[in-house]
Amino acid sequence: MKAIFDERQLKHTPQRYFRRGAYIPHPEQAERAILIRDMLLANGFPIEAPQDYGDAPIKAVHDAGYVDFWKDAYERWVAEAGDAEPIPTYHPGRRAGRRSDSIYGQLGWYATDTSVPLTAGTWEAIYWSAQTAIEAAARVMAGERMVYGLSRPPGHHALHDAANGFCAFNNAAVAAQKLREKFAKVAVLDIDTHTGNGTLDIFYERGDVFLCSLHVDPAVYPTYYLGYADECGAGEGEGATLNLTLQPGCTEESILERFREGLAAITEFGAEALVVSLGFDMANDDPLSEVKMTGAGFEIMAREIVRMGLPTALIQEGGYLGPSLAKNAEIYLTASRDELAKTEPVEV
């Protein structure tokens, strides 16, 4: 099983995150990707760089003005505000109003929270994170059974036209849209501990992309506003969204029980290809976790996903700098490779 990664993804360097009334060191650090990259190398996974597919595949799921905004936002900020920290401050209300030409106005217009500060390398990092996901999808379309895209920064909170929850471009959604060029029905299975609210936003009225998101109940846990069990899609997407919510403190057994409900629903939908939004922040020692997942649980998920038999792009989402991040990624990916070896000829 191949892995895709580009070193330019390390260039987004957020420093601080305002959480529950206090600044904390920003959890979404480049070191996350470095730890996983080094684990891949140590375990003999071939790592390849993505091609440049341009911004069209990103604009296929995101507002074009939103994508273009990121290209020179940092330079515009510096020209206007100097070395002040570029954190979104002015956000539109429920009656959205209109987009201002000001960098201050646009920074808030294109973000629902303060979690994606602009840094000098943000554009490059988010662009190559998306290209990594596109490359993983392209390899799957070319016939590889499973490919791992080490996307960083993560993507599943990014809405159609707004950053949210450390995410700017929705890498998994971009990959799913790419897969639609070959496969009529694509499913996204999101096992990050947070709701895939951005993926939900993008595909909510689409019947060709099924989203199953397994996450801690948004009534009591970020992202708070989307991902409730009664949100099932709308219009042509009616029934193509499935939110499986977990209670804080829940056990691995109950997580796996809900996970299997998700697999059954994806099979029922008739998915021809799969994107996994692969977060490791359900881990019991992840700094953001409120549930009790262990490496053994991640191994079970990995094997059962392979046994679904679908062409699959694994796209990295969350999982933060706790003691077991690299270990859980290693357990998940080596178990996937092992399970794949039982079902297909050995790769040459």
Q: Active-site residue 26, yes or no?
A: no
Quote the least distance from Cβ 345 to Zn ion, whole Å: 35
Give me the half-sphere count of Cα atoms (radius 13 Å) on the Cβ side of residue 51.
9
Whole-angstrom Cα distance, residue 170 to residue 188? 12
CB-nearer residue toward Zn ion: 69 or 280: 280
Cβ closest to Zn ion, residue 117 vs residue 318: 318
Of the residues 26, 62, 157, 215, only one is catalytic, namely: 157
Diameter of the chain measured on Cα atoms = 58
At its nearest, how many Å lie between Zn ion and the CB of residue 282? 8
Q: Name the minimum Å distance from CB 333 to Zn ion.
A: 18
Binding site for Zn ion (CB under 5 A): 192, 194, 279, 281, 318
The answer to whether 30 and 13 are in contact (CB under 8 A) is: yes
Q: How far is the CB of 319 from Zn ion (least distance, A)?
A: 7
DSSP states along 269-287: HT-SEEEEEE--TTBTTST
Cα 36 from Cα 24, distance rounded (Å): 23
C-beta of 293: minimal distance to Zn ion in Å?
A: 12
Cβ-based nearer residue to Zn ion, 55 or 286: 286
> What residue number has its CB nearest to Zn ion?
318
For residue 203 the two structure tokens come to: 């595909």
Q: Give the contacts of 197 (CB within 8 A, at least 6 positions apart).
A: 156, 157, 159, 164, 165, 218, 223, 225, 226, 227
Minimum Å gap between C-beta 98 and Zn ion is 32
Residue number with CB closer to Zn ion (73 or 125): 125
What's phi and psi for 312, nearest 5 deg? -135, 130
Name residue 4's beta-bridge partners: 48, 149
What 3-state DSSP class applies to 111? strand
**DSSP track, 243-273:** EEEE-TT--HHHHHHHHHHHHHHHHHHT-SE
Q: What is the DSSP letter of 49?
A: P
Which residue type is seen at 84? A
AA identity, residue 219: A
Give 180 or 194: the residue with its C-beta nearer to Zn ion: 194
Contact criterion met (CB below 8 Å) for 31 and 321: yes
Strand partners, 47: 3
* 290 vs 339 by CB, closer to Zn ion: 290
Query: Which residue numbers are catalytic?
Result: 157
